[in-house]
Structure formats: C-alpha cells, structure tokens
Chain A
C-alpha cells in the first residue's frame, strides 16, 4: 500500500475541467515532482490533496484512509503538511513563533512546542533568525520558514507548492538540500515545480500534467525522454 493514492481525481470549476481522471501514487520517504506547463492543473491537484478543494469525483487516500473531501485542518491532523506559492508568513510573529504555531498541533504545551520549533528551525538552518520578526526575512528565508512551520505539524507527507520559484541558484541549492533532508528523515514530499533543474535531479518519480490530464509518469530520465512531455513543453515555450 502506498502512502498516498490518488484515484481518478477530477476537479471541475463550472465548465472548466482543471483535473481529469488523474491517478498516481506516492510511497513513504520518496520525492515526487508534479510538473507541467502553466494551466496544466498542478496546483488544483495539489489543493485537492491538501483539502483546500473538494474533488468533483475520484478518491484520495492517505495510508488507506479516504481524505478527499476533508477540510484542510483535518488533512493536517491526518498527516499532510503543506506550503503555499507565497510564503503566507505570520508577520506579527517571530520566526520561532511561526514554527511554534505549527508544533502546537501535536504539542499543546507552549514550552514543548517551542523546543520542537527550535529543532525545525535548525533543520532548515534558520536557527539564527529565531527571534527575528518573520516579516523582515528575505523571500528565500520565508520559504524555508514555511517549510519548517509545515514540518512542525509532524506530517507523513509534505506538499510543497513552487518552493523554488523565484530563487537564485544558490538559494535553489539550499532548498534542494532541505528537501533531501526531509526525505531522509522519512517524510514523503510532493512538489509542484516550475524550476525543473531543481526538481529533476532529486525526484524519485515525476508526474507530468498538461491541460488537466496526466500525460506521463516515471523516473526523471524516462519523463525527460518522453515525446509527449517534450511537445507539451515546446508548445508553450
């Protein structure tokens, strides 16, 4: 049994079909990249898994339990952490308090949660910023802060929405190192990404969407050689 199973996921917005019968699976402690041109339906599929949308049809299972249709807070409790395209930092708080708020899901005592928060800040190498106002950090730092905050909910699966977009090459390397460390600690990652040079070398599997359909699935090498994928990307390039 896979950690995450997506069966025939379909999501319609009035007349627009954003996802049509998409199926794939994700195993524990693996990195899966969800890629595709603009408007392919990546973020829609991602938001269905995170509970942000209720799928029009199809089923999503985490550890064999149906989670499709659950609200985001129930998905978090079930073990799904997520980040957003924009960091959505809690700007009235310090970096440590941001992560602490995530840690409170499993540890209601603030002192314990603070210890856990400091652990996750070290994990993403932001421990030096613990007492800084979170709003004053750079975009790259806020992205890693959002990852730490999601990790603090102790997920089995972490969803990351374009965590590398807009970062410079050295920041992309930092983020890649963080993602590898997350996988090594036993947490599966589903990453929606535009920055292919960031995701291709580290992914165990790539799923390619185009115009709401899954057009390819396989190792990064297989996908890169797929004629359908090449034409989809060339079409929009």
Chain B
C-alpha cells in the first residue's frame, strides 16, 4: 500500500480508479451512464493520441483516420464475413498500425506545423475515399443489425457492459503507455520531442522511433473506433472520420497535459463535461450558444494553464514543496 500511495497524484489516481469501478453501481440513469462512457472513450483516445503527440511531440490532427479504419474494419468484417467483433477490433488495430506506415511515410518528412497540416490532409483524403466507396456504404454509412445481448458478440442493449468495455480499453491503453514511459521507448520519444538533433547524436534513429510511436498510437485509436461502432451499431464517414474528431483527440491531451500519463484522462473529464453542460444549459437558447461557451472555456484553459491541467497541478505542488522547504529552514 505504501508503494501505491507514494504521492498525492497517485492517491488521486487510486481514488479515481475505485470511483470508476463503482460508477455503474452508483449511476442509475442511462444518460449519466452514457456521459461516463463518453468520458472514458474520449480519455482512451486522448491517451492513445498522447503517445505520439505528447511523448514524441508529433502533433497529429489526422488521428480520425485510424479511428475510422478501426470502426470500418470491424464493422465490414462482421457484416460481410461474420467475423466476431472482438477479433474485428484486433484486426482494426492491426490494419491501422499497418496503414500508419503509409501515414508516417508521407507526413514525417515534415516537421512541426507542417506535419500537423499534412496529417489533416491524409485524414481528409481517407474521409473522401470512404464517402465515395460503395462497398463501405458511401456517405450513407453502415449499420449493424442488432442480434441479442451477448458478451461473445459484443452486443448489448444496456449501457453498463459498454461502460465496462470502455473502462477496460482505457485501462489497457494506460497500462501500455505506463510500460512505454518506463522503457527505452519512453526516453527516446521524449528525447525526440525535446531536441531531435541531440537525440540523433545519441544514436537514436528518429524516423524509426517516430514511426513506432505512431503505430502503437494508431493501434489503440483504431480499437476505440471499433468499440464505438459496436456501441452505436451505426457508422458513417462524418461520425468516425471527421477532422473535428481528430481535433478532439488532440484537445483532450493538450487540455489535460501532454506527455503525462493521466493528463488526457483529466482533459477528457473536463472537456466532455464542459461540452455536455454547455449543450444542456445553452443548447436550446439560440444558434450555437453552447459551442461559443465551449470554445471560450477551452481558450481560457489554454491561456491560463498552457501546460495543461496536470502541468498546472505539478507546478503548484512544486511551488508548495519549495515554500514548505523554505519555511522549515
């Protein structure tokens, strides 16, 4: 227990995990449970995005491409070949990881803002392909007919199983990130972000390690896409391949704190709650009031907490520690 409780951040993490595990028992209303699922799914995407965008510092605004690939892969495999969605989810992840080589090959030639712009273009391209591809349902999209409640077929009429699935996938993604953070990959990713030239001088092949970060990130993003498809039983290019979705993945991380394990989780809670609250409070009042408030709050967080909420928290702890040290002397 002592090891678990090393710092305040870890205490909060443990409490949050317990709350997350108990939430399905406490939340009775389907709308609250649905909000919780949205938070978990946004958090999972943020954590996956953070591997490339946060740790390795390669800001992608095209991650919806992987999300869409995951969603379409598992759905089309299920509809056309009867492939089990659990397998479909893994296949989607694998397909996205493979596709990420083409994505990386075309985008990693560019740096910084230009890289981000190229990722938008690649994702838009994929969206156009799917919008016009008859086999994948074109712009109309594809729906999965509901069979019966079953864990084996990943099909549920209620919300609670999806809560468990979303939490499980989030924990899996967090565990992978935790492991990577502590391995040589974590150090190499941060080195590439901080000083690419210095990283190369230490023998780090930065193209290879950027691609590794992208592939792992794409794999987990696609699994999130497959889960979304099973939850909604309907996908179309607008819902799983849109640039707005890519931006949301980045926002969740940036708001919470890039390059930190739990930053995207914090960001997902804050962003989703702001989104839902502004919609329920102001959504009916006029055209777009909720969106304006949502945007204003995001800008406020970005201006006042440029290192994200986790970064702000760490800074506060550091200052407090320095103060108590000064007082003790």
Contacts and interface: CB of A to CB of B under 8 A. Distances in A.
B71 to A, nearest CB: 34
A100 B187 contact: yes
Interface string B205-227: 11000000000000000000000
Interface in B168-211: 182-184, 187-188, 190-191, 193-195, 197-206
B259 interface: yes
Interface residues of A, number: 30
Q: Max chain A CB contacts within 10 Å: which of B194, B197, B198?
A: B198
A77 B203 CA distance: 6
Contact of B201 (A89, A93, A97, A150): A150
Interface in A73-119: 73, 76-77, 81-82, 84, 88-93, 97, 100-102, 104-105, 108, 110, 113
A110 B185 CA distance: 10
A82 B194 contact: no
A110 B198 contact: no
B217 to A, nearest CB: 18
A50 interface: yes
Contacts of B187: 93, 97, 100-101, 104, 110
Interface in A39-96: 50, 52, 71-73, 76-77, 81-82, 84, 88-93
Secondary structure type dominating chain B contacts: helix
Contacts of A104: 184, 187-188, 202
Given A88-B195, A110-B184, A113-B184, A101 B202 contact: yes
A90 B191 contact: yes
A48 B130 CA distance: 48
A93 B183 CA distance: 14
Nearest to B202: A102
Contacts of A71: 200
A124 to B, nearest CB: 16
A140 interface: no
Contact of A108 (B184, B195, B204, B205): B184
A78 B103 CA distance: 31
Nearest to A87: B198
Contacts of B197: 52, 72, 84, 88
A149 interface: yes
Contact of B190 (A92, A150, A153): A92
A76 B203 contact: yes
Q: Max chain A CB contacts within 10 Å: which of B182, B191, B259?
A: B191
A153 B182 contact: no
A111 B87 CA distance: 36
Which size bracket describes the interface of B in this complex? Answer: 20 to 34
Contact of A149 (B182, B183, B202, B205): B202
Contact of A101 (B188, B205, B206, B259): B188
B259 A73 contact: no
A91 B188 contact: no
A89 to B, nearest CB: 7
Nearest to B57: A92
Nearest to B183: A110
B28 to A, nearest CB: 43
Contacts of A76: 200-203
Contacts of A150: 201-202
A5 B205 CA distance: 25
B201 A105 contact: no
Nearest to A50: B201
Contacts of A91: 194
A90 B184 contact: no
A93 B190 contact: yes
Nearest to A82: B201
Contacts of B194: 89-93
Contacts of B183: 110
Q: Max chain A CB contacts within 10 Å: which of B194, B201, B204?
A: B201
A72 B191 contact: no
Contact of B204 (A52, A73, A84, A152): A73
Given A89-B195, A93-B190, A101-B191, A72 B201 contact: yes
B50 to A, nearest CB: 14
Contacts of B204: 73, 101, 105
A84 B198 contact: yes
B142 to A, nearest CB: 43
A148 to B, nearest CB: 12
Given A110-B182, A110-B183, 8 more contacts: A52-B197, A72-B197, A76-B203, A101-B187, A101-B191, A105-B204, A150-B201, A152-B202
5 contacts: A73-B205, A89-B194, A100-B187, A101-B187, A104-B187
What are the nearest 4 A-B pairs in CB distance? A76-B203, A88-B198, A105-B203, A90-B194
Interface of A: 50, 52, 71-73, 76-77, 81-82, 84, 88-93, 97, 100-102, 104-105, 108, 110, 113, 146, 149-150, 152-153
